[in-house]
Amino acid sequence: MGKAIDVTPEKKPAMIEPKKNSQGIGSLFLKNLKKDKLALFGAILLVCFIMIGIFSDSIAPHEPRLRHYNEEGQIRRLEPPSAAHWLGTTDVGRDIYSQVILGTRTALTVGILAALLVTFVGATVGIIAGYFGGIVDAILMRIVDFFYAIPFIPFVIVLAAVLKPSMWNVILAVSMLSWRTVARLVRSQVLSIAKRPFIKAAKVTGAGHTRIMFKYILPNVIPLILLEMAFMVNFAIMAEASIAFLGFGDPNKASWGQILHINFLTGNSRNAWWWTAPPGIAIVLLLVSIFFVARALEEIVDPRLRRR
């Protein structure tokens, strides 16, 4: 008798799913906030800034360009803080408190929008370069090297000369030159992830490149992307303040850098401390709050920090 022939259909290799954390990113972040008092302080402070930015039109008591006069009809020039003007007035009688409050919205708008654009472009380029490798990786990394060769401040000055100064041009300038760092960091992470067994199993089962990149690779680099986004918000806020301080900001938008620019331009940086200190303190507090929040995100990216 002949041997029986096994006609059982051949089984496809089982998909090996990536190992997921027992806790989600959100729960880990909240846990880190409770554990890290500085991160919790930063989160509370950041929420306060966001609320001020959202409701700045209602909180600011005066228009930022409105000139104020005393009972004698004279402009309230360089008046120190008082009940009528909590942070004093400028050399032309404008309310500094209103300008600082409205500048919060400008800083947050530039920071958040620029960071979103930077992380989207940088993460996309990094995932594609790290996943495909070879000639694709080489071409994309040479493009990144090209953008690294462009100095930021001169580029912004040229952009402001070609285009009119505006908040959107600042966002464009920050986005065009900041995605390169995110791309390099995400690429280095993807190079490691792309060699793991669950990626090879996904290829064997016929999953397309797009599916593999955005369903299996992207979730593993999201913590790194969120951390870099936090740092990019900081960078964008500093960049906007620096550009406005140099006189290339949006003249129609109240911003902290513009307040300092006019203060130094008129030569009142030493004799009117109430004009210099508030925008400077606001910049420092906002940047510190974002940095402290990034501490909680950093522990998600690097699990070794959780054992401290």
pLDDT tens string 193-228? 988 898 889 888 888 999 999 889 998 898 889 889
DSSP state for residue 214 in the 8-state scheme: I
* Domain assignment of residue 8, yes or no: no
* Domain assignment of residue 268, yes or no: yes
- Integer Rg of the chain from CA: 26
> 305 or 162: whose pLDDT is higher?
162
* Domain assignment of residue 273, yes or no: yes
Is pLDDT above 60 for 13? Answer: no
> 267 or 5: whose pLDDT is higher?
267
164 pLDDT band, cuts 50/70/90, is confident
* Domain assignment of residue 267, yes or no: yes
pTM of the model: 0.85
Provide the β-strand partners of residue 94.
67
Give me the phi and psi of 89, to 5 degrees please.
Answer: -130, 165
Residue 40 CB coordination number (10 Å): 17
* Domain assignment of residue 144, yes or no: yes
pLDDT at 184: 95
3-state secondary structure of 250: coil
pLDDT at 14: 46
For residue 39, give the nearest of 292, 306, 231 by alpha carbon. 292
2 pLDDT band, cuts 50/70/90, is very low
For residue 46, give the nearest of 299, 298, 296, 291 by alpha carbon. 291
Taking residues 251-264, report their average pLDDT: 93
pLDDT at 303: 62
Which tens digits make up the pLDDT trace of 34-67?
Answer: 888 899 999 999 999 999 999 999 999 999 999 9
pLDDT at 307: 54
* Domain assignment of residue 7, yes or no: no
Q: Tell me which residue range forms the domain holding 157.
A: 25-66+96-307
pLDDT at 34: 84
Taking residues 121-138, report their average pLDDT: 94
C-alpha 235/C-alpha 239 separation (Å) is 6
Contacts of 132 (CB under 8 A, 6+ apart): 209
* Domain assignment of residue 85, yes or no: no
* Domain assignment of residue 75, yes or no: no
Taking residues 8-26, report their average pLDDT: 52
The proportion of the chain whose per-residue pLDDT surpasses 90, expressed as a percent, equals 60
CATH number for the domain harbouring residue 185: 1.10.3720.10
Taking residues 125-137, report their average pLDDT: 94
Mean pLDDT of all residues belonging to the chain: 87
The alpha-helical segments, DSSP class H, found in the chain are 25-35, 37-54, 56-59, 96-132, 134-148, 152-162, 167-193, 197-204, 209-211, 218-245, 256-265, 273-301
Taking residues 241-262, report their average pLDDT: 91
In the chain, the number of structural domains is 1
pLDDT at 89: 95
Is pLDDT above 50 for 81? Answer: yes
DSSP state for residue 216 in the 8-state scheme: I
Residue 186 near residue 225, CB atoms below 8 Å: yes
> 61 or 14: whose pLDDT is higher?
61
Residue 198 near residue 204, CB atoms below 8 Å: no
